[in-house]
Amino acid sequence: MAVCAIRIDERLIHGQVATLWQGTWNCNRIMVIDAKSANDPMLKSVLKIACPATVRLSVLEANTAAANLLSGKYGKERITIVTKKPENILKLIEQGFLPEVEITVGNMSGGAGKKKVAANVSVAPDDVECFHKLEALGCKIVKQTVPSEVATAFMPLLKNIEE
């Protein structure tokens, strides 16, 4: 089993993930880590419809995802992890899963209490805290909306809103 990509994108599986990113990742399983989706049959159905037909799908809570990854459940599959929030990646690490690939930040929309970091990326205070913890754990974090865009280091963008 190899995790070939980790993406934070609140839209989870959508057109860009199913087409543009899938071609870049070349994975055969997308693992959505989102407690709400994992526990809502309707949301799971929507994700199944959005997932490319040639790709397997797992929709899990973080603890179950970590247990499955650590147990080797997926054999030699190439897995892409997609989640809405950085806290889910942090939960994986706290359970013992150590990512060997960079974390790509995609779309995190604005809202009450959030600060805009870059185009299509706004963060809440708890997101900022999680990103700092991930960085302290040695995770490389980049911002990249689509594969044709050059990836940029994420933490300097985050520091701009903290000054």
Q: Which of 20, 19, 44 is nearest to 31 (CA)?
A: 44
| 68, amino acid identity | N
Lowest-pLDDT range, 13-17, 54-58, 100-104?
13-17
| 128, amino acid identity | V
* Average per-residue pLDDT for the chain: 90
- Mark out the alpha helices in the chain (DSSP H runs): 15-16, 22-25, 35-38, 41-50, 62-71, 86-94, 125-136, 154-162
Residue ranges and CATH numbers for the domains of the chain are 2-162 (3.40.35.10)
Determine the number of helices (DSSP H) and then strands (DSSP E) in the chain: 8, 9
**pLDDT of the residue at 50:** 87
What are 23-80's pLDDT values in tens digits? 677 788 999 999 999 999 999 999 998 888 888 999 999 999 999 999 999 999 999 9
Asked whether residue 163 carries a pLDDT value surpassing 60, the answer given is no
Dihedrals phi, psi of 7, to nearest 5 degrees: -130, 135
Q: What is the pTM of this model?
A: 0.91
**Partners of 147 in the β-ladder:** none
Q: Please, are residues 33 and 65 in contact by the beta-carbon 8 Å criterion?
A: yes
